[in-house]
Amino acid sequence: MKMYYDDDVDAEVVADKTIAVIGYGSQGRGQSRNMADSGLNVIVGLREGGSSWQKAIDDGMNVKTIEEAAEAADIIHILLPDETQEKVYKEQIAPYVEAGNTISFSHGYNIHFGLIQPGEDVNIVMFAPKGPGSRVRTTYLEGFGIPGLVAIEQDATGDALQLALGMAKAVGLTRAGVIETTFKEETETDLFGEQTVLCGGLTALIKAGFETLVEAGYQPEIAYFETCHEVKLIVDDIYENGMAGMWHDVSNTAEYGGLTRGNRVITDATKAEMKAILGEIQDGTFKKEFADENATDAANLKEMRAAEERETIEVVGKRLRIACGLQKEDE
Ligand code: NDP
Ligand code: MG
Ligand code: MG
């Protein structure tokens, strides 16, 4: 494993570059503000009339249209939702890309799956924080950063790695440490993680536990506390101290029960399914399915999103979070 810290970065390499950050959402806002505060020359490229435009101006950023920003920049760092990048790149960015420019991302999706194919005369790089944009910003303001990844797909100028690391440093990532990876590894492991463990697996596990208790006649509020609310306490403990630290902190009853029962919930069959899901990521099945979904205006996604909001655990959970002061009424 190769890990980079602040001292490994030659900040001079990006110092004289103009960086267009395209998009001002979760990552765009956090990363571009950090880069600007670190002294880099940053332009934010946005569509006029979108909700980000005024927000970026109010934050004091230098805002231009996507076309103007792309034309002015040496480095174009694309932080739009992944499913929009192909079209925006083709129509609004590609016409302004010049030899020696750098095309940069925080997720390898569009390059790895061949949806965006820049010419051979530009750098293709990625640096990605391992956390949401809001945390990228708050940790930076606290004088630290969150860890990240860096990858070089194409090095046309010979200094692509230092360009990517220079931006990662300005965002605060090399304060914590940046691990070198490839577009393929980052894309496939990121999709696998969010599908099977983090987003998909975890919510399915929580829901199954909640439903089991409610169907057995227990109060939904109690079921919510036991199967959802407390997840954060356990995850925080594992995050800071590892599994062994967590086992040490819970009661012996919880430790014995968990160690003897956990493998009955997540079984060999679960792992076999994880392997099948990984296969669908690797062979392009998932990419095709998601492209088809977006081609039909994400109709299935919208329906699943609405159904999820109607789930008992969501209704009960929101009521309880408001009652306990964990969430505000209007959120
Ligand atoms: P967001 O969904 O927050 O991006 C929203 C921004 O994109 C807004 O400024 C919006 O502008 C603009 N936008 C959306 N659609 C279009 C369009 N069709 N044309 C022009 N502008 C558009 O994205 P994220 O920050 O979540 O993700 C950005 C990248 O970072 C992705 O590659 C993602 O995988 C990666 N990433 C995200 C992480 C996260 O925690 N969110 C973590 C690590 C990587 P407007 O206001 O005008 O609609
Ligand atoms: Mg992801
Ligand atoms: Mg308990």
Question: What are 72-130's pLDDT values in tens digits?
Answer: 999 999 999 999 999 999 999 999 999 999 999 999 999 999 999 999 999 999 999 99
User: What was the pLDDT predicted at 330?
Assistant: 74
Whose alpha carbon is nearest atom 26 of ligand 1? 26
Q: Across-strand partners of 42?
A: 19
- Where in the sequence is the domain holding 56, given as residue range(s)? 3-181
Q: Are residues 196 and 314 in the same domain?
A: yes
Q: Measure Cα distances from 329 to 53, 112, 221, 319, 322 in Å.
A: 28, 42, 18, 9, 6
Residue 64 within any structural domain of the chain: yes
Q: What integer is the mean pLDDT of 285-303?
A: 97
Q: How far apart are CA 198 and CA 191, in angstroms?
A: 10
Has residue 209 got a pLDDT over 90? yes
Residue 24 beta carbon below 6 angstroms from any ligand 1 atom = yes
Residue 239 within any structural domain of the chain: yes
Whose alpha carbon is nearest atom 34 of ligand 1? 107
In this prediction the ipTM stands at 0.98
Active site residue 112: no
Q: Are residues 120 and 163 in the same domain?
A: yes
Q: Is 91 annotated as belonging to a binding site?
A: no
Residue 133 beta carbon below 6 angstroms from any ligand 1 atom = yes
Read off the pLDDT of residues 134-180 as tens digits, 9 standing for 90 and up: 999 999 999 999 999 999 999 999 999 999 999 999 999 999 999 99
**Number of domains the chain contains:** 2
Has residue 331 got a pLDDT over 80? no
Q: Name the residue among 49, 154, 57 with its Cα closest to residue 103.
A: 154
**pLDDT band (50, 70, 90) for residue 208:** very high
Task: Please give the distance, rounded to the nearest whole angstrom, from the Cα atom of residue 240 to the centre of ligand 3.
Answer: 20
Q: Are residues 141 and 285 in the same domain?
A: no
Whose alpha carbon is nearest atom 48 of ligand 1? 50
Q: Name the residue among 149, 184, 136, 150 with its Cα closest to residue 33.
A: 136
Residue 329 within any structural domain of the chain: no
Residue 319 within any structural domain of the chain: yes
Q: What integer is the mean pLDDT of 279-290?
A: 98
Residue 42 beta carbon below 6 angstroms from any ligand 1 atom = no
Give the up-direction half-sphere exposure of residue 288: CA atoms within 13 A in the CB hemisphere.
Answer: 5
Residue 276 within any structural domain of the chain: yes
Q: Are residues 248 and 227 in the same domain?
A: yes
Q: How far apart are CA 296 and CA 291, in angstroms?
A: 9
Q: Are residues 162 and 235 in the same domain?
A: no
Structure tokens at 197: 């463990």
Residue 148 within any structural domain of the chain: yes
Q: Are residues 169 and 243 in the same domain?
A: no
The 3-state DSSP composition of the chain as helix, strand, coil percent (nearest 5) reads: 60, 10, 25
Contact 61, 44 (CB under 8 A): yes
Looking at 181, 205, 228, the residue that finishes a domain is 181
Q: Are residues 164 and 195 in the same domain?
A: no
Task: Please give the distance, rounded to the nearest whole angstrom, from the Cα atom of residue 208 to the centre of ligand 1.
Answer: 31
Read off the pLDDT of residues 9-62 as tens digits, 9 standing for 90 and up: 999 999 999 999 999 999 999 999 999 999 999 999 999 989 999 999 999 999
Q: Are residues 204 and 315 in the same domain?
A: yes
Q: Are residues 168 and 281 in the same domain?
A: no
Task: Please give the distance, rounded to the nearest whole angstrom, from the Cα atom of residue 80 to the centre of ligand 1.
Answer: 3
Q: Are residues 140 and 227 in the same domain?
A: no
Percent of the chain with pLDDT over 90: 98
Residue 44 within any structural domain of the chain: yes
